[in-house]
Structure 1
Amino acid sequence: MKGPDKRVALREAAHWYARLGADQVGADVHQQWSSWHSQDALHQWAWQQVQNLQAQLQGLPGPLAYQAMQQAGTSAALGRRTLLKGLLLGVGAGSLGLYGYREAPVWLADYRTRIGQRQRITLADGTRLILNTASAVDVRFGAEVRLVIVQAGELLIETGKDPRPFVVRSAEGDMRALGTRFTVRQREGITDLSVLEHAVAVRSKKGTDAEQVIEANQRVSFSATQLYSPTAVDPNQAQWANGHLVIDNWRLDRLLAELQRYRPGFVQCSANIAELRLSGAYPLDDTDSALAAIARALPVRIEQRTRYWVRVLPKA
């Protein structure tokens, strides 16, 4: 596939993603999208890249997303709300856009997963990694240090016994394991660390403070310049490694945003039911079953026109 052809296909895929994310979408639009998608393997490739980028950029602040979408030349007629739903997808159409910056290392990573996939890896020192959906890491073991670089997504680490320091590096800083089990999630501009056993020493990339030790059952988020105050770890936080999302009193919109990480396409609910709350366990390997369970638990219905477009609406 040639570079210019890729950029055209990515631009078209971003356009279709924005159209399918609009509040009112007719059956004719879905038919047109399906026709475009099936026309060419390049279109199918571009649509998958759009999905991967969407999963990686869920934490991007709205103003930055809007600015980047405008720079990508997305039609202003779509409106700010629809642009934000696109989550910067139009940037992939530009050769100097964020897509090029983030996606290149992801696809060259030593280990990576697709949307909805998990992967278990045992490293040379006995360390065990579990990569969550749409994740990518590089492994750099040397004589002085064992280094894992998080390019995208989320992983669970159980460190092996070895005298060399074990460090996980994100875009925002380093996390040095102190004989431990922990999870790391790379969001846009933020790293989330949850310590499940023992402790992890954290240092932000540009911060002037010394390492801060995060103890077992603590969770902390940090940027390149700042560590935020630790909070308690959700005891079910790492259940994704077993294929389950276990929640307690979550808002419906939060639950759907999390499920969207595990399926290609667009999932949302109407604003008037976003605050409905749920508890329970939902299968991550079968998100259709998870959506059906939501419809049984709440006075809502699932509207699904293609496998890539789902809305949760009030029950008629």
Structure 2
Amino acid sequence: MSGAFNHPPDIGSAVAEQAVSWLIEMQDGGLSPGRQQAWEQWLQAHSEHQRAWEHIQRINQRLRGLSSPLAHAALNAPKSNSRRQALKLLLLLGAGTALTYGVRDQLPITPLLADFSSPVGQRRTLQLHDGSQVQLNTASSVDVRFNGQQRVIRLLEGEMLLTAAQDPRPLQVLTAHGVLQPQAARLNVRQFSDRTEVAVFDGQVGLMPTAHSGSPLWIQPHQQLSFNRQAWNPPRPLDAGSGAWTDGMLVAAHMRLADFLAELGRYRRGQLNCDPNVADLLISGTYPVDNSERVLDLLAVSLPVRIRRFTRYWVTVEAKA
């Protein structure tokens, strides 16, 4: 699954707010002839206003396509100050301006408003305007913000493989735990709740955890490590299965069954449970993530386990009777 990158225009915070205010005023009952003339004058005053207006309209359409209860309430609630404030916040969050870019990652609706995302069980490839390529793993989302001075990719959730292109503008990859600076590198980045894991295949990558005050660490090719907001673990050689998900494969090398099922469960909806009595069984091999049902059937043949399917969305792997 692929998609061309259509980056948000470089719009200032004040202009974005003006565009949102005009849109909300129109949706609240239309404009009087005087206000219609004022809007047209504002729109024609600067090309930035026109870019902002077009972009805010696109964001508004995207919000209307969301299943989010928050977005539905803001868009469809009766006219009120609270409704207008909620809609304004949603539109500004979606606009990705400098004012709101730092706010988006503080709110639980962020993945819904991400520039790009992939649903559970699917992968997505993005070709960015600078020539870089981003591959998103299952249930992953990113924001991308390029301007004349810098390139910023924010991993909001999940996992991505980035092939960074040469460009005079510096490139930063932001996660919840720190900043990565790829130097024409190819790297895999996965964000957990308590840490970020990064694997570098080519090039080198600078790392600075959010709360770290010292010098950055430079991760060399064929190294990987994990880090949190304060520090990083020592670099280690790449795992054999690093990045295998881009080929639709899950590689296990003497992996605990509980850990294996947790990984496989990322690619399917519902609960995939592991009985504690079989959690420490070891598994090795290469398995297709796009056919988890087949993988579960293989486990029942190769291990002393059985698969109990209560429903399609509630499956438990337990000891064979």
Distance 1:135 1:158 in 2: 17
Residue 297 of structure 2: SS of its match in structure 1? helix
Structure 1 gap segments, 5+ residues each: 1-44, 47-99
Q: State the Cα distance separating 1:130 from its structure 2 match.
A: 0.5
TM-score relative to the length of structure 2:
0.66
Give 3-state SS (helix, strand or coil) of 2:184's partner.
coil
Select 1:296's aligned residue among 282, 292, 301.
Answer: 301
Match of 2:292 in 1: 287
Letter in 1 for 2:311: T
Identity of aligned residues (%): 37
Per-residue CA shift, 1:179-237, capped at 9, x if unaligned? Answer: 11001111113111111112100001111111100111111111111122112210221
Equivalence for 1:176: 181
Is 1:140 matched with 2:129? Answer: no
Cα displacement (A) at 1:103 = 3.1
SS in 2 for 1:103: coil
**2:234: which partner in 1?**
229
Long gaps (5+) in structure 2:
1-66, 69-104
Matched, 1:104 2:109: yes
Distance 1:270 1:189 in 2: 25
In the alignment, the residues of structure 1 paired with residue 247 and residue 142 of structure 2 have an alpha-carbon distance, to the nearest angstrom, of 20
Alignment RMSD: 1.5
For residue 161 of structure 1, report the CA deviation from its aligned partner. Answer: 2.2
DSSP 3-state at the match of 1:245: strand
> What is the SS of the residue equivalent to 1:296?
helix
Query: Taking structure 1 as the reference length, what is the TM-score of the superposition?
Result: 0.67
Distance 1:135 1:206 in 2: 25
Query: Structure 1 counterpart of 2:178, which letter?
Result: G
- SS class of match (1:267): strand
1-structure distance, mates of 2:199, 2:300: 31
- For residues 228 and 108 of structure 1, what CA distance do their matches in structure 2 show? 32
Q: Aligned partner of 1:305: which letter?
A: F
How many Å separate the matches in 2 of 1:235 and 1:119? 22
- 2:164 touches 2:183 (CA, 8 Å); kept in 1? no
Deviation per CA, 1:51-74: give whole Å up to 9, x if none.
xxxxxxxxxxxxxxxxxxxxxxxx
Quick check: which has more Rg, 1 or 2?
A: 2
Query: Is 1:149 equivalent to 2:132 in the alignment?
Result: no
1:129 corresponds to: 134
1:101 Cα deviation after fit: 4.8
> Residues of 2 paired with 1:200 and 1:294: CA distance?
38
Q: Which runs of 4+ in 1 moved over 4 A?
A: none
What do residues 232-255 of structure 1 show as CA deviations (whole Å, max 9, x unaligned)?
210221010111101111111110
Decide which moves more: 126-135 or 102-111: 102-111
Letter in 2 for 1:263: R
Corresponding letter in the other structure for 2:317:
V
